[in-house]
């Protein structure tokens, strides 16, 4: 592959609008290598771990499944398959609380581990990916259930359908405090990360791959640079970017690297760019070279509320409490369990929920560092939130409209451009949990949209049903009319036939009588002549 120059403005990285310099707390979990966990007795696999439509189960209660077996297929184009992380028996398929900001339940497959670790038959495509078409490669990615592992969980195969991509940006920025899973992945699996990026590059026909890493990760930078050097091609290049939150947001990162802003409501592909997380690239490598679907990921277990913070390689479906126990358990002053980081994560009210594909971090805070305050003060219109917003929104206005549920104004003020980075809430002197207001407002609007579109669908269905009934009625009436006409015609024909027959018989009677009279007359004439 040939290298082209990065197209950032005059070779300079652009500055991030707004954003914050935050204390990182990264060293808490980076002092040890990635560890592996003992397998658990039971795994809980939610069927909705991704953006899009829920997957459709392929297994039944009581069925034995093998490690890597597909448990549920994608429910639609925008969906992702899920696989068994172990071999064992499906003991239930039922609703269970899933780790989601909504706190709601969803359908999950429960598997009892048989501890045999028996894999399905696998056929890795390996280096042949270079001779395999993009569409076949996308199918492999789709069948492997790979989603964006930076937290968004967007189905990767869908993202890779974008065409005319010049540059693949590999996102190794990991700008949120505490989270270090991408950092340690790059340190320990740099070659595999590049291998995955090369495969993605082949699928989207990218000309270059820029690996973006924040300057607070020197070990990761060195490891990736060493892997680039041993790769020997000029396809890869590192872009070291200044540490500032939220530089790792997709649109923010693209702007920093290219100097171009992704227009509102548009996709990065329109700038010839596609962005993937480094962990997603690693998952692609495993899918292609080991035929291993996405059944595990690296998760940072951290915070001052856990005894031994570290990064662990976790099978998807592992109960969170087992991960915490693997890390020495909770400290005495532990308080909240948060999935994700302190800025974008959300609080969980139980730890029996499973690790899912989007779980990059489990953060346990202490009472002293409680992030989500129960009470807040009124807005004093200080404007600090506006300065901090990297998307140039008006957070305090959004807050007013969200509290008064003024949906029209929220939409006008671009609520859906909010990336929920939490910068506004972080700087707010009144401790207003602004992001919670935005999330709630977004969910309400989506709900109303769904209800409206489902009532539109119901109305359309009802109208279509009515039209169908009317059509059937019209057709039936037409049939009856034709039948009646036919019967009438038949009756007329019969009547006509009868009349003709009657006339004919009258004529023949007359003819016969005339004939008889003529015969009698000629008889009489004959007799008188003989006399
Ligand atoms: S930072 Fe907080 S108090 Fe200040 S304007 Fe924004 S919402 Fe209001
Ligand atoms: S959470 Fe939304 S409104 Fe607040 S700073 Fe981030 S993007 Fe702006």
Assigned CATH topology for domain 9-115+135-297: Rossmann fold (3.40.50)
Q: What is the pLDDT of residues 331-341, one digit of tens each?
A: 999 999 999 99
Cβ of 385 below 6 Å from ligand 1 = yes
For atom 1 of ligand 1, which residue has the closest CA?
Answer: 428
The rounded distance, in Å, linking the Cα atoms of 440 and 444 is 6
Atom of ligand 2 nearest to the CA of 419: 7
Task: Please choose from 389, 415, 417, 426 the residue to mutate so as to test ligand 2's pocket, defined by most ligand atoms within 8 A of CB.
Answer: 389
Cβ of 382 below 6 Å from ligand 1 = yes
Q: Are strands 167-172 and 273-277 parallel, antiparallel or unpaired?
A: parallel
pLDDT range class, residue 90, cuts 50, 70, 90: very high
Angle between helices 190-204 and 278-289 (to 10 degrees): 80
Tokens encoding 163:
């065409």
**Would you call 289 helix, strand, or coil by DSSP?**
helix
Q: What is the pLDDT of residues 365-393, one digit of tens each?
A: 998 776 555 578 999 999 999 999 999 99
Mean pLDDT of 247-267: 90
For atom 8 of ligand 1, which residue has the closest CA?
Answer: 379
Q: What is the pLDDT of residues 401-448, one digit of tens each?
A: 999 999 999 999 999 999 999 999 999 999 999 999 999 999 889 888
- Whose atoms come closest to the Cα of 377: which ligand? 1
Mean pLDDT of 110-114: 98
Q: What is the pLDDT of residues 285-312, one digit of tens each?
A: 999 999 999 999 999 999 999 999 999 9
Question: Is it the case that residue 7 has pLDDT exceeding 50?
Answer: no
Cβ atoms 281, 193 nearer than 8 A: yes
Mean pLDDT of 9-19: 74
Cβ of 380 below 6 Å from ligand 1 = yes
Question: Is it the case that residue 159 has pLDDT exceeding 70?
Answer: yes
Cβ of 159 below 6 Å from ligand 1 = no
Percent of the chain with pLDDT over 90: 71
**Separation of CA 23 and ligand 1 centre (Å):** 22
Q: Determine the pLDDT at residue 450.
A: 76
Percent of the chain with pLDDT over 70: 93
Map out the domains of the chain as residue ranges. Answer: 9-115+135-297, 376-523
pLDDT range class, residue 529, cuts 50, 70, 90: low
Q: Determine the pLDDT at residue 5.
A: 36
Cβ atoms 301, 327 nearer than 8 A: yes
Q: What is the pLDDT of residues 319-365, one digit of tens each?
A: 999 999 999 999 999 999 999 999 999 999 999 999 999 999 999 99
Name all contacts of 340-343 with Cβ < 8 Å and 24+ positions apart.
340/151, 340/176, 340/179, 341/176, 341/177, 341/178, 341/179, 342/176, 342/177, 342/178, 342/371, 342/422, 343/22, 343/176, 343/177, 343/245, 343/246, 343/421, 343/422, 343/423, 343/426
Atom of ligand 1 nearest to the CA of 383: 5
Q: What is the pLDDT of residues 173-191, one digit of tens each?
A: 999 999 999 999 999 999 9
- Whose atoms come closest to the Cα of 389: which ligand? 2
For atom 1 of ligand 2, which residue has the closest CA?
Answer: 420
Task: Please choose from 429, 431, 435 the residue to mutate so as to test ligand 1's pocket, defined by most ligand atoms within 8 A of CB.
Answer: 429
Q: Determine the pLDDT at residue 8.
A: 44
Q: Determine the pLDDT at residue 143.
A: 96
Q: For domain 376-523, give the CATH number.
A: 1.10.1060
């Amino acid at each position: 592959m040939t290298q082209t120059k990065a197209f950032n403005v005059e070779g300079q990285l652009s500055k991030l609008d707004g954003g914050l310099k935050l204390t990182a707390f990264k060293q808490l979990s980076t002092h040890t290598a990635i560890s592996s966990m003992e397998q658990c007795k039971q795994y809980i696999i939610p069927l909705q771990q991704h953006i899009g439509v829920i997957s459709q189960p392929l297994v039944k209660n009581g069925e034995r499944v093998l490690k890597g077996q597909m448990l549920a297929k994608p429910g639609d184009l925008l969906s992702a398959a899920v696989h068994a992380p172990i071999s064992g028996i499906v003991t239930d398929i039922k609703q269970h609380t899933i780790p989601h900001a909504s706190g709601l339940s969803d359908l999950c497959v429960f598997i009892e581990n048989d501890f045999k670790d028996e894999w399905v038959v696998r056929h890795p495509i390996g280096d042949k990916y270079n001779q395999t078409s993009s569409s076949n490669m996308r199918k492999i990615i789709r069948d492997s259930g790979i989603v964006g592992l930076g937290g968004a969980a967007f189905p990767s195969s869908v993202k890779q359908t974008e065409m005319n991509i010049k540059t693949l940006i590999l996102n190794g920025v990991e700008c949120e405090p505490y989270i270090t899973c991408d950092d340690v992945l790059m340190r320990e699996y740099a070659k595999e990360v590049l291998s995955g990026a090369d495969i993605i590059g082949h699928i989207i026909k990218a000309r270059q791959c820029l690996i973006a890493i924040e300057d607070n990760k020197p070990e990761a930078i060195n490891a990736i640079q060493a892997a680039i050097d041993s790769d020997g091609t000029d396809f890869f290049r590192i872009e070291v970017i200044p540490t500032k939150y939220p530089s790792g947001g997709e649109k923010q990162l693209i702007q920093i690297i290219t100097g171009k802003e992704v227009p509102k409501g548009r996709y990065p592909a329109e700038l010839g760019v596609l962005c993937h997380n480094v962990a997603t690239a690693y998952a692609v490598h495993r899918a292609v070279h080991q035929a291993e679907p996405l059944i595990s990921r690296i998760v940072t277990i951290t915070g001052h509320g856990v005894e031994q913070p570290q990064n662990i390689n976790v099978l998807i479906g592992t109960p969170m409490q087992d991960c915490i126990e693997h890390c020495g358990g909770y400290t005495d002053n532990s308080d909240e369990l948060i999935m994700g980081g302190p800025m974008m994560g959300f609080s969980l009210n139980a730890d029996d929920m499973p690790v899912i594909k989007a779980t990059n971090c489990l953060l346990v805070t202490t009472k002293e560092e409680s992030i989500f305050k129960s009470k807040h003060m009124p807005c004093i219109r200080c404007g600090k939130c506006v300065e901090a917003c990297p998307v140039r929104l008006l957070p305090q206005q959004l807050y007013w409209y969200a509290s008064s549920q003024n949906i029209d104004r929220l939409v006008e003020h671009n609520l859906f451009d909010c990336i929920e980075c939490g910068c506004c809430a972080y700087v707010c002197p009144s401790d207003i949990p602004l992001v919670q207001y935005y999330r709630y407002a977004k969910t309400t609007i989506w709900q109303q949209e769904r209800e409206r579109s489902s009532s539109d669908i119901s109305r359309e269905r009802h109208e279509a049903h009515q039209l169908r009934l009317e059509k059937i009625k019209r057709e039936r009436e037409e049939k009856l009319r034709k039948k009646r006409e036919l019967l009438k015609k038949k009756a007329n024909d019969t009547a006509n036939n009868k009349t003709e027959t009657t006339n004919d018989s009258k004529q023949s009677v007359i003819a016969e009588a005339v004939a008889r009279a003529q015969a009698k007359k000629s008889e009489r004439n004959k007799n008188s002549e003989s006399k």
